[in-house]
Structure 1
Amino acid sequence: MSTASSHASPEKGAEPPASDNAGGCRDLGELLIRRGGEKYAFCRGKFVLDVPAGCETVPCSALCEADCFNRIVDRYGAAFPNADRRAVVSLWTLYYFSTLTINTALAWLELRRLLPISLDETSVCLDRETGVPMAFLVHSLGQRRELGIHEAMHPLLRQHIEPLASAISAHTRISTKLLWGNAAGYLDWIVEEAGRQSRPALAAEGAPLFQDAVFPDGAKNPLCGTLRAMTDENGVAFKRRKVCCLRYCLPAIGGCGQTCPLPEGRQ
């Protein structure tokens, strides 16, 4: 494993990043589609300046309070009566972290936009009926910056996921390693997908997020070691988690296939 190093943003070239002006756009997904086309249509409506229809908003910082978090998970868990609560909590965070990490990473990699994404700046938009995280409400679509990848992802990793994972772990029976694994799976996927679908340099830029054992300030990087590169019997490369997300414990959900570290989760 390497230690954190200075990874500068890609130099300006034939495809300049978006300007600071969002052109009146109120949806990050629309900016991504303007930049990269319909391959980013799945981002539409996920990071927005207006509350989506059918949703209620909760400040992300409030999720650090046990009462608030448990009320939301209880509502979500009604779909899984008598299920292992750890698995219910984990699955809820998979929805949360997928939307959070994928869109924040693309905002940086494709648009060079540093989003206001710390816990205190963001609200999660929940389905009123189920409590499923549907989107994030932000106060702006960010500003263009010239930063290295660790600096660019600092608000996401150090000011949002880190305190939230610690809080959730404190008032549930889920380890922070499991929660970081949930975030890592989606972040790793979108970094590699951006490299495949857009420019290989984007995947190379994001790789240190998982390769560097420590952050630039010397703090341990909890993303490092969460995923292990492997090859199946047909020579196809894949990533396997270090810690199981427990989703296989929920009825009608099933496991993660070869990604799961547990044999029972691969069925």
Structure 2
Amino acid sequence: MTDMPLASLRRGAPAEAVLALYRQPPLDALKPPAFEAPEGPTLPVAALLERETLTELLDRFTASFGEDADRRAAASIWSKFHLSAVSIPALVANLLLDLELPVAPDEMRLSVGDRGQTSRLWLPHGGWPLSSQAPETRFRRLIDAHCGPLIEALAGISGLSPKVFWSNLGHYVEYAGQTCNRHPDFAGSGEPLLRLLEIRTLSDGRRNPLFRPIRYLELGGEAPARVRRLCCIKYRLPEEALCGGCPLKPENLPAKRGRRRPRTDIAGEDV
């Protein structure tokens, strides 16, 4: 059980209610968001949308892997640092407490690690009650206001397909939905998010970039294997192996005959 009763969590101060969630399983192993005054120098998240700033951070991160490191692969891994840091706290608060955290780029700041990666995000407050429960609208501040513009900027600078960055985000989105579903005090709370991942075409006619980022495949084990639909191309960096859920790993190939092996081109796109 959490430190606070369920009813008290939802009635309490938003920031404290969010932080209380991280004191007990299944969230106690995750890094909570930061609401206090930032420690040391920080950068406005909106600055990531400026080409010069984002280029400098990606250059530093790429250089940390050694001379002639693959810039596109480094950009993909840089995005995983940032997208996990912003998406999981925002989705946990949204699903478990019906709170919308202030995660638009002009609402928050970030600490930058020595390699140029996002090391921590700083929020000014604990958010507001959700204005809508609809799957396509309740996550817009995170997906449309924050992640969409950043992914567009990353793709433009790195030359890597936006699909790879959306796939990286989808990995964390699906994880957040499944984790919230397992919470003992909020059983089934992840379903609105998981339903969003099943929508191929959004109501405005756009393709849903988060459509089914994860597959659960029968590969002969005791339980279905969680396999990403798209490779993050991390393996193109020096001394980096394929991720555990990579679709390119031989052990993650579908066991049934007639299932097409996922193939990946140099930019990480399905072909």
2:53 to 68, 72, 78: 68
For residues 189 and 44 of structure 1, the distance between their equivalents in structure 2, rounded to whole angstroms, comes to 14
In the TM superposition, residue 92 of structure 1 has moved relative to its aligned partner by 0.8
- Correspondence for 2:111: 125
- 1:135-177 C-alpha deviation (Å, 9 max, x unpaired): 2122211012352233221101111111111111111111110
Conserved 8 A contact 1:29-1:47: no
For residues 54 and 117 of structure 2, the distance between their equivalents in structure 1, rounded to whole angstroms, comes to 12
Q: How does 1:1-267 map to 2 (within 5 A)?
A: 15-16=6-7, 18-19=10-11, 21-22=13-14, 25=16, 30-33=19-22, 37=24, 39-53=26-40, 56-81=41-66, 82-127=68-113, 129-145=114-130, 147-148=132-133, 149-198=135-184, 199-257=186-244, 259-263=245-249
Structure 2 CA distance for partners of 1:158 and 1:265, relative to 1, 3 Å: farther
Structure 2 CA distance for partners of 1:228 and 1:207, relative to 1, 3 Å: same
Conserved 8 A contact 2:25-2:183: no
Identical aligned pairs, as a percentage?
24
For residues 231 and 133 of structure 1, the distance between their equivalents in structure 2, rounded to whole angstroms, comes to 36
- Correspondence for 1:11: none
How many residues are paired up? 244
Structure 2 CA distance for partners of 1:227 and 1:171, relative to 1, 3 Å: same
Conserved 8 A contact 2:62-2:70: no
The residue type equivalent to 1:170 in the other structure is G
Structure 2 CA distance for partners of 1:47 and 1:214, relative to 1, 3 Å: farther
RMSD in angstroms over aligned alpha carbons? 2.5
Q: What secondary structure is seen at the aligned counterpart in 1 of 2:96? A: helix
Identify unmatched segments of 5+ residues in structure 2.
253-271
Asked which structure has the greater RCO (Cα within 8 Å, sep 6+), the reply is: 1
Conserved 8 A contact 2:111-2:120: yes
For residues 238 and 54 of structure 2, the distance between their equivalents in structure 1, rounded to whole angstroms, comes to 23
For residues 252 and 48 of structure 1, the distance between their equivalents in structure 2, rounded to whole angstroms, comes to 36
Conserved 8 A contact 2:48-2:150: yes
More helix by share: 1
Normalising by structure 2, we get a TM-score of 0.80
For residues 251 and 157 of structure 2, the distance between their equivalents in structure 1, rounded to whole angstroms, comes to 25
Q: What secondary structure is seen at the aligned counterpart in 2 of 1:134? A: strand
- 1:13-61 C-alpha deviation (Å, 9 max, x unpaired): x9435236337x4xx7623236xx25423444533342135xx422222
For residues 33 and 226 of structure 1, the distance between their equivalents in structure 2, rounded to whole angstroms, comes to 26
The residue type equivalent to 1:89 in the other structure is A
Identify unmatched segments of 5+ residues in structure 1.
1-13
Q: What secondary structure is seen at the aligned counterpart in 2 of 1:99? A: helix
